[in-house]
Chain A
């Protein structure tokens, strides 16, 4: 049996104070070359018809009630596509005085002030997100492809030998300075540094 929820994704586009870059790409993705409609994605003019909200922009303060309204109007199961650097993490304005700063900060407000749980969210980074990145997101939603991006964490420890080498060089250098061994350690208020 085909899962029709994956075969047909209707999207309501919501600009929450974006620069238009992502918005244009959201439109662009429906044009002949990327052709989003291949995956059954359609732009709809009302959140009530939609399965997902394509959210662009860092969510300015003036837009908060309106975004809440749209999310409320979305029938279950709800999906939010956070498109672009602004929606994913607030972008370049993440900490200014009129900006909420990305979808996660917004979800906090949603929880605190409106008592709603955050819906399923897909993060689509990019500035602006390339149309192909949006197709990739649709591919993940429709189970055609698997998510590639994973958290990466590297811990770099130096070899002990290496450390010793560095320390020896420096100690030697310090040692060559005749005045240093005489220094008496005094703790107190610092005077003007260089």
Chain B
């Protein structure tokens, strides 16, 4: 703890707010790069970055870099400011690879220029978005419709390389995302991700139309699989910002539902992976078992997926003895059946062959990209927000964090398998130890411009929300960061040198929350020739002319 403070002070950082959960550090533009480097070397990894337009307050734009320092159990928020007339901030991407997307996004939505960024391209806005319009600036209305600028497709058909777009729709993970994969013969030599088709403008929406009590429901709809963890994460960020203590019983109920969500999400993932490997019966069995978890969720919360259980200050519904018993009974069945399924499937050689030693992500690369969750734990990094930054009721509970050193798809598979049983164990403890009392704090004051950070361990990894509160029960800036945002940049590393047919399973192995695994463009990098185009096809082309 003292060490990290010393590192900050030695590098000209000024600690403004000291919270149990995070440190807010102000640093000038000249020193940010050095400080970020020093923190990274001290063991912090890049969690997320948030740009904010604070002109109405002081005439400055601000960039918040959030780093996770597990050792001292704190998030370190670096705040860098730039005036409107000189919107330049030195990029820290050359120092920490993980800052790449966050800085590009801040440029897209606010127009902050990051000097020395290696890849300054548009990231999240649609291609037909006009230049010079920045949606997250305060002078842009949340429901303003911008006239699209029609542009040619971004693909430049090179003379020596034909483009083979495999997409844009694909049945695998039922989501519109896009990877460009460069292949040499049959082997993948590089990949580029192109996505954000599902950018829905929710940050702006939250600042514009919604109040602090409505945002949890938007947060829940960031992801339809792990929505509840986003909801909790937002609530915690606001609670941290206004210094609110949540009743203990509410914390236990939150934990219970978070773990139920983790189980359902992991079983879902197993089903999808089996489907990707062509083993549909496995998919059916996994999802049949999952149905029991969904029933518990429906019984406890009233909906199968969008639990809608939390607000800032607590939870909305209580649970009784009868529900506890039903939950335990169903989970025991789930545990038994999943064990059986895992045993049977891992005995199948062709499945094992396709996930073992495939999609390697070495430990050091994993660290510098800043991957989180099962992907990190499959690469031998012992990280888990539940242990590193305890929240909800996890501080009272006993559980293990599975870590595997294989760095391949199989390791990620095993991490998730272990986590299912660990979650069931956690739920048993929660139901056993749950204290009585209130479940909600009804009245509280919301201060103006108070900064809060919340983090949860989503099924896919660390989930971070950053909030600046505003008067009148509003938020000034809200930035959710889903785990996949950190995990996706690792996919190109995993794909390198692998067989093309393994691409779906590898992309699927990070459990991409919002992407379709194989919207790929296949471009042969070395020869400029497209794979899968033989002489016969040339003949047909000639016939056509």
A residues apposed to B, CB below 8 Å: 12-28, 31-33, 43-45, 47, 57-58, 60-63, 66, 70, 91-93, 95-99, 127-128, 130
Within 8 Å CB of B316, what residues of A? none
Given contacts A17-B199, A21-B224, A97-B143, 9 further A-B contacts (CB under 8 A): A17-B200, A21-B227, A21-B306, A25-B305, A31-B288, A45-B170, A57-B198, A93-B205, A98-B135
Question: A91 contacts B221, CB within 8 Å?
Answer: yes
Count of inter-chain pairs, beta carbons less than 8 A: 137
Listed from nearest, the 3 A-B pairs whose CB atoms lie closest are: A21-B224, A20-B224, A96-B201
Residue of B nearest to A23 (CB): B174
Does B421 reach chain A (CB closer than 8 Å)?
no
Give chain B nearest CB distance to A127 CB in angstroms: 6
Question: A23 contacts B175, CB within 8 Å?
Answer: yes
Within 8 Å CB of B202, what residues of A? 93, 96
Q: Which of B28-36, B144-152, B500-508 contacts A (4 or more CB under 8 A)?
A: B144-152
Residue of A nearest to B143 (CB): A95
Question: B305 contacts A17, CB within 8 Å?
Answer: no
Within 8 Å CB of B303, what residues of A? 127
Within 8 Å CB of A47, what residues of B? 169
B residues apposed to A, CB below 8 Å: 125-128, 135, 140-146, 148, 168-171, 174-176, 196-202, 204-205, 209, 217-218, 221-225, 227, 268, 283-284, 287-288, 290-291, 294, 303-306, 513-514, 516
Q: State the CA gap A12–B222 with chains docked (Å).
A: 24
Question: B513 contacts A130, CB within 8 Å?
Answer: no
Give 15 A-B contacts (CB < 8 Å), ordered by A residue: A19-B198, A19-B221, A20-B174, A20-B513, A24-B225, A63-B176, A92-B221, A93-B201, A93-B205, A96-B204, A97-B201, A98-B135, A98-B201, A127-B306, A128-B305
For A60, give its contact among B200, B227, B283 (CB under 8 Å): B200
Q: State the CA gap A102–B55 with chains docked (Å).
A: 34
Chain B interface SS verdict (over half): loop
Question: A19 contacts B224, CB within 8 Å?
Answer: yes
Question: B224 contacts A61, CB within 8 Å?
Answer: no
Residue of A nearest to B285 (CB): A32
Q: Which of B200, B202, B224, B304 has most chain A Cβ within 10 Å?
A: B200
Residue of A nearest to B217 (CB): A92
Within 8 Å CB of B516, what residues of A? 15
Residue of A nearest to B128 (CB): A61
Within 8 Å CB of B143, what residues of A? 95-97
Give chain B nearest CB distance to A166 CB in angstroms: 32
Question: B287 contacts A31, CB within 8 Å?
Answer: yes
Q: State the CA gap A151–B126 with chains docked (Å).
A: 37
Q: State the CA gap A15–B306 with chains docked (Å).
A: 18
Question: B176 contacts A24, CB within 8 Å?
Answer: no
Within 8 Å CB of A96, what residues of B? 142-143, 200-202, 204-205
Question: B144 contacts A97, CB within 8 Å?
Answer: yes
Known: A19-B227, A20-B175, A21-B306. A31 touches B284 (CB 8 A): yes
Q: State the CA gap A96–B198 with chains docked (Å).
A: 13
Within 8 Å CB of B221, what residues of A? 19, 21, 91-92, 127
Question: B176 contacts A32, CB within 8 Å?
Answer: no
Q: State the CA gap A48–B221 with chains docked (Å).
A: 31
Question: A28 contacts B287, CB within 8 Å?
Answer: yes
Give chain A nearest CB distance to B278 CB in angstroms: 14
Q: State the CA gap A23–B221 with chains docked (Å).
A: 13
Within 8 Å CB of B306, what residues of A? 21, 127-128
Known: A31-B284, A62-B199. A98 touches B205 (CB 8 A): no
Give chain B nearest CB distance to A22 CB in angstroms: 7
Residue of B nearest to A58 (CB): B200
Known: A23-B224, A32-B287. A63 touches B197 (CB 8 A): yes
Within 8 Å CB of A15, what residues of B? 174-176, 198, 516
Q: Which of A43, A70, A97, A98 has most chain B Cβ within 10 Å?
A: A97
Question: A95 contacts B223, CB within 8 Å?
Answer: no
Within 8 Å CB of A16, what residues of B? 176
Residue of A nearest to B174 (CB): A23
Q: State the CA gap A127–B307 with chains docked (Å).
A: 10
For A21, give its contact among B135, B198, B305 (CB under 8 Å): B305
Give chain A nearest CB distance to B354 CB in angstroms: 20
Q: State the CA gap A63–B102 with chains docked (Å).
A: 23
Q: State the CA gap A64–B146 with chains docked (Å).
A: 14
Give chain A nearest CB distance to B230 CB in angstroms: 10
